[in-house]
A and B are shown apart, each in its own frame.
Chain A
Amino acid sequence: MIKVEELFHSYTGNGRYAIAGVSFEVEKGEIFGFLGPNGAGKSTTQKILTGLLPVQTGRVAVAGQDMRRPTRSLFNRIGVSFENPNAYRKLSGLENLAFHASLYDVPTTDPMALLRRVGLTEAAHRRVGTYSKGMQQRLVFARSLLNRPDIWFVDEPTAGVDPTTTQAIKEIVREERERGVTVFLTTNNMHVADALCDRVAFLNEGKIVTVDSPRELKLKYGQKVIVAEHRSEGRLKREVLSPLVEGDRVELQRLLAAGQVETLHSQEATLEEVFIKLAGRGLGG
């Protein structure tokens, strides 16, 4: 659904690139996470993919359309949820959605149903200027689903929202994937990416460091050991055991059989740790 080849973009035109040689593909129905710290080039890439910035060098195709010349039909097929809430503050939440719904040439979802889905029913008739940032974020998130997009670009959907709403948003993303929607998720929140994405691309200083599934990355860059805490002779003990070593496997079976194990943890890496290993810096920086 999305194909990017050797994409370069410079804001200054003096040889300094915000993104340099980025290539990746996103399959239909996949949740593809685009991870990287602030300034890594995530937003620039998303802006090019959604037509907000022109393609300078490289090839970008979204839903089979060359993004050098995107047509109106493409915008009927994509949805974009922005990181910064950008709704008309003088219009109500419902008016904002109704206005945007009328821009599409394809059947759209009932705005009120969408507001209900993101928990804004009560505030539907209030002007957006009176909304909290989290409410505005939810409104913009809902707006991006108006045209039932085939390809959904979601930028930091959980930034500034409470844990309950974060959970609700994650659930909606999963539901859309079930519907067959391709999701391009831009975030620097590794927990969200880990929980949602089929594959992630790590972006650092304008370049893709790696692309793989979160599971593979965590296994590949984590330690293949298990930490077992158990009680023995009245004292709490901690043992690091490798499932690849025969002796450790026997010891683990013995502990489990004796019922002495209190906690058992595999030691795969977190996405944050993988990123630090690959990029030499954290996602938050």
Chain B
Amino acid sequence: MLRRFSALVARDIKLVVRNHHLTIVVAVAVLYALLVRFLIPAELAFEPNLVIWDRTATRAIATWYRETEPGRAKVVDSEAAYEEALREANRIGVKVTGDRLPEELELTFQGFEGMRSRRLLEAIFSFQVTAMLRGVPPGFPATVLRPGEGGEQPALNLSLVPVLVLFEAAMLGMLLSAVLLFGEKDEQTLRAYRVSPGGIAEYLLARSLTMSILALISAAVLTLLTVGPAANWPVILAVVFLGSMTLTLAAMVLASLFRNVGQFYLPYFLITLVLMLPMVVYFQPGMRLPLIDLLPTYPLVYALREAYFPTGSPGVMTGAVLQLLATLAVVLPLAILTFRRQLVVKDV
């Protein structure tokens, strides 16, 4: 049995290398690393780039910005100048009206700003106007960063690493395993395998193991080139391995339902979209999607984030490993049953 399994893995490794899948995976990992290191900035600076038209008699806000924050805002004196300035992208208009002191405040946005940015600006100006009404000079609310809580926030470019590892190691692995299966269907080599003592479970596990080895190589290359050698390797490798095993089996189930890769692409694309939903939550933590935590990619991305950028919540990683093991326990028999049905009963 072990001899048969080793032979299956050895065959798959040869096929993966000779079909250039290993080259593709390593090349994509290097490309991602280059993007992270050289193209994506470490920080997205939020400069409001304000245009202030203060129509009050005292012009207190305009004066304050001109004197104390000259780099933050462009102060204008007419409606024409205000409209002209707002034609430039990234400008946010602040029109202040009132007799002596500000009574009304109108903020003009370009439309692409996030709701959080809008609310933040509204709050800042409310704070400043309130201060002025109380006879206090306007200023910014005090900001306190507490780096001790929740761990140090990773740089923007590095925060992408867990997502890229997941995307390449798991999602690309899904596609490549399906491509291999369709190659076997085309060559009819699966028929030759089926008249041998080789079983379906061995076949599927060997293929998953091979794709997981590919995923580990990809994750290692990407991690070394971005985060460096000082990473939580045991967790990263364990999570990538289990995630890749699970998703490869899922891809094999899906691919077994179709005769060729052309029929497979659309369902694969749709399923990939669903599996990528945890990335949305990853970047927008406030967002909550129902049942999203049941997707195998959900624990994967959060466990990877914890492994790369620890926040003192090791339970996330343990939970992810357990959830992936449970998913694997469900997916493996399902894959065997589907494969048997598709290949033996329907001879697809």
Contact = CB atoms under 8 A, between A and B. Distances in A.
Q: How large is the interface on B (under 10, 10 to 19, 20 to 34, 35 or more residues)?
A: 20 to 34
A176 B278 CA distance: 60
Interface in A141-173: 143
Nearest to B184: A88
A47 B195 CA distance: 10
B195 A52 contact: yes
Q: How large is the interface on A (under 10, 10 to 19, 20 to 34, 35 or more residues)?
A: 20 to 34
B192 A102 contact: no
Name the residue in A54, A90, A91 with the highest tally of chain B Cβ atoms < 10 Å from its Cβ: A90
* Residues of B contacting A: mostly: helix
Contact of A86 (B3, B192, B198): B192
Interface in A79-93: 80, 82, 84, 86-91
B189 interface: yes
B199 interface: yes
Interface in A1-54: 47, 50-54
Contact of B345 (A54, A82, A89, A105): A54
Given A53-B347, A102-B4, A86 B191 contact: yes
A51 B194 contact: yes
Contacts of B6: 102
A82 B196 CA distance: 13
Nearest to B345: A54
B7 interface: yes
Interface in B1-28: 3-4, 6-7, 10-11, 14-15, 18-19
B14 A91 contact: yes
B326 interface: no
Nearest to A146: B196
Contacts of B344: 51-54
B17 to A, nearest CB: 9
A271 to B, nearest CB: 28
Contact of A52 (B15, B19, B191): B191
Contact of B191 (A78, A82, A95, A102): A82
B341 to A, nearest CB: 10
A104 interface: yes
A215 to B, nearest CB: 32
Interface string A190-221: 00000000000000000000000000000000
Nearest to A99: B11
B7 A99 contact: yes
B4 A87 contact: no
Contacts of A99: 7, 10-11
A202 to B, nearest CB: 25
Contacts of B347: 47, 52-53
7 contacts: A51-B195, A52-B344, A54-B345, A73-B197, A90-B19, A99-B7, A100-B192
Interface of A: 47, 50-54, 72-73, 75-76, 78, 80, 82, 84, 86-91, 95, 99-100, 102-105, 127, 140, 143
Interface of B: 3-4, 6-7, 10-11, 14-15, 18-19, 187-189, 191-199, 344-345, 347
